[in-house]
Amino acid sequence: MKTLLTAFILAAAPLSAFADCSWSKQTAMSCADGTTYDSDTQNCVPVTG
């Protein structure tokens, strides 16, 4: 019984790491000087104007 419980805990451990991650797009994006982040293209684009 202890072996089965230990195996279950070891198998479930990686799942808890996934549960902690946010699946939404809340990542920090930093762009080089003279560029800004464009959410439509999801890239850094040159600042104009």
Which helix (H) or strand (E) segment holds residue 13: the answer is: helix 2-20
Q: Residue 33 has what pLDDT?
A: 92
Q: Residue 49 has what pLDDT?
A: 76
Q: Residue 7 has what pLDDT?
A: 72
Any residues with CB less than 8 A from the CB of 36 and at least 6 apart, and which? 44, 45, 47
pLDDT digit string (tens) for the chain, length 49 residues:
888 777 767 776 666 655 555 555 556 668 999 999 888 988 999 998 7
Q: Residue 12 has what pLDDT?
A: 67
- Give the three-state DSSP class for 48: coil
Nearest to 27, CA basis, from 39, 35, 18, 16: 39
Q: With 0.75 as the threshold, say if the pTM is over it.
A: no
